[in-house]
Amino acid sequence: MRDMTEGKPFSHLWRYAFPLLLANWLQLAYNAIDSMIAGRFIGQNALAAEGIAAPVMNLVILSISGLCIGAGILMSEQYGGKNMPALRKTVAVTLLSGTVIASVVAILGFVFANPLVALLEVPEDISAITATYLRITFLGAPFTFIYNVLSAAMKSVGDSKTPLRFLAFCSILNAALDIILLGVFHKGIFTSAATTLFAEAASALLAVHYLIRKTPELFPQKEEWKYDSRIFKDLVRYGAPTAMQQAIQPIGKVLIQSQVNMLGVSSIAAFHAVTRADDFACIPEQGISSAISTYIAQNRGAKKEKRIAEGFWTGIRMEAAYGVFIAAVTFLLRNVIVSLFVSGEAAEEVIRIGSSYLSVMAFMYLFPAMTNGFQGFYRGMGRMRMTILGTTTQISVRTLFTILLAPKMGIQGIAFASGIGWLCMLLFEVPICIASLRKMQNSK
């Protein structure tokens, strides 16, 4: 456990964020390896099918993680205020309510996979394997939820290392199964989805076992496994807006994917490859954002508002440094990055398309670094409406400009559209944040 209400902000933020960065890189490395295996051993159609399914599954996963992020902010406040019984009750209520919702989503996704594929206007030659992939991966939603809730509980008390260990084990297990079953035995896309489902179940079981055996102070006691209307209302107040905010992003990406689908299989495969690079750039920035949120929430719970501004600006500098670093790496290695995902006769065209996208997108990566930092501030302060408004602004502008630019410029137009969306989000969020910090400082 890490109490962030005392000590230097940079030390707390770095020690908290670094395991999350490793966890994100590890998860993204697995996702990339999974796509490489699919593209090289199952074929370009499989890579395209996984690319089409990715925004849909991200909608489910990010909605789940959004609810858990909101619950984690509430837990961080409770921990900062040294109210452990309330923290455990929050874990119980979140698990009970969220697992039911996630199970319903899994069933609906399994049943309606074919209509969903039709709605996405998937090319006919890959529609069947896309539906198969979606059905199996939807079944992992309850396991993903359980892992995320328990991970949020650990992170709320400053423990970001333990979730990394679980993720490392499951990612290595998943990758090993993919290499053996797909690379050696040449199984199909059904197996690729099934290995992911197996790893998600394993991560959930590991998290439950760890909390019961190692941190019983976080795991709800027998009498705490019951519905509490007050805690549920707090959970909805924190979790529902964050879930909506997280869901808005992949909804926009689904719409963007529909534009890519009109450009042909080569563009679909290239876009799936380059979005893996985007993930490497943007998702780890959320680890720093999570550190900012937890730091601010703990200090709010402890009534130590004086520390908030110092910690926030320290976090922003960390976000900027990461953004510049990943932009340089992506631009210099753009051809190599895309070539990892494809082989065969179609590889040259896919690499050309993907490289043109990354040559533009690399210069945009500083923008999401900044937006993640400001989102961390608003979450930590409990101002969830601002996170929704900011994300809605970004994805709306991004989707609009994708519709305008993609038909003329291909997926390179999507890179320009992304940068415009992030810039508009910053123009909305930054002035309000600065005004809030000044008001807080003047009130002392």
Domain boundaries, the chain: 9-442
Which residues have CB under 8 Å from 363's CB, separation 6+? 327, 331, 419
Q: Which long-range contacts (CB under 8 A, 24 or more apart) does 211-216 make?
A: 211/150, 211/153, 211/154, 215/154, 215/159
Q: Exposure pattern of 126-143 as b/e (b: 16+ CB <10 Å)? A: bbebbbbbbbbbbbbbbb
- Per mean pLDDT, which range of 180-189, 244-253, 345-354, 367-376 is the poorest? 180-189
Instruction: Look up tokens 């380059």; give the residue.
Output: 274
CB atoms within 10 A of CB 336: 10
61-104 pLDDT, tens digit per residue, is: 777 777 787 788 888 888 888 888 888 888 888 888 888 888 99
Give yes or no for residue 107 having a pLDDT over 70.
yes
- Kindly indicate the confidence band of residue 267, based on its pLDDT and cuts at 50, 70 and 90: confident
CA dist., res. 365 & res. 132, Å (int) = 34
Query: d(Cα 284, Cα 293) in Å, to the nearest integer?
Result: 15
Select from 326, 230, 239 the least CA-distant residue to 284. 326
With contact defined as beta carbons under 8 Å apart, do 140 and 197 qualify?
yes
Q: Which residues does 58 contact at the CB level (< 8 Å), separation at least 6?
A: 249, 250, 253
420 pLDDT tier (thresholds 50, 70, 90) = very high
Q: Using the predicted structure, report yes or no on whether residue 387 has a pLDDT greater than 60.
A: yes
Q: How far apart are CA 174 and CA 268, in angstroms?
A: 24
Flag whether pLDDT at 441 surpasses 80.
no
CA distance 94 to 71: 7
- Locus of tokens 């998937």: 122
Q: Is the pLDDT of residue 230 over 60?
A: yes
Whether the per-residue pLDDT at 20 is higher than 70: the answer is: yes
Q: In this predicted model, what pLDDT tens digit does every residue of 174-205 receive, in sequence order?
A: 778 777 776 555 666 677 778 888 888 888 88
Taking residues 138-155, what's their average pLDDT? Answer: 88
309-360: pLDDT as tens digits: 889 999 999 999 999 999 999 899 888 888 877 666 667 788 888 888 999 9
Residue 303, sorted as left (phi over 0), alpha (psi -120 to 50) or beta, turns out to be left
Q: What is the pTM of this model?
A: 0.67
Q: Are 183 and 37 in contact (CB under 8 A)?
A: yes
Average pLDDT of the residues of the chain: 82
pLDDT at 432: 93
342: left (phi over 0), alpha (psi -120 to 50) or beta: beta
Tell me the H-state helices in 215-346. 229-261, 265-301, 308-332, 334-339
Tell me the C-alpha distance between 364 and 193, whole Å.
32
Provide the phi-psi class of 187: left if phi over 0, else alpha when psi is between -120 and 50, else beta: beta
Task: Tell me how far apart the alpha carbons of residues 359 and 331 are, in angstroms, rounded to a whole number.
Answer: 6
Residue 135 in this model has a pLDDT that exceeds 90: no
The distance from CA 12 to its chain's CA centroid, rounded to whole angstroms, is 22
CB–CB of 79/301 below 8 Å? yes
State the pLDDT confidence band at 429, using cuts at 50, 70 and 90: very high
Residue 307 has pLDDT above 90, yes or no: no
User: Which is nearest to 192 in space by CA: 39, 71, 333, 325?
Assistant: 39
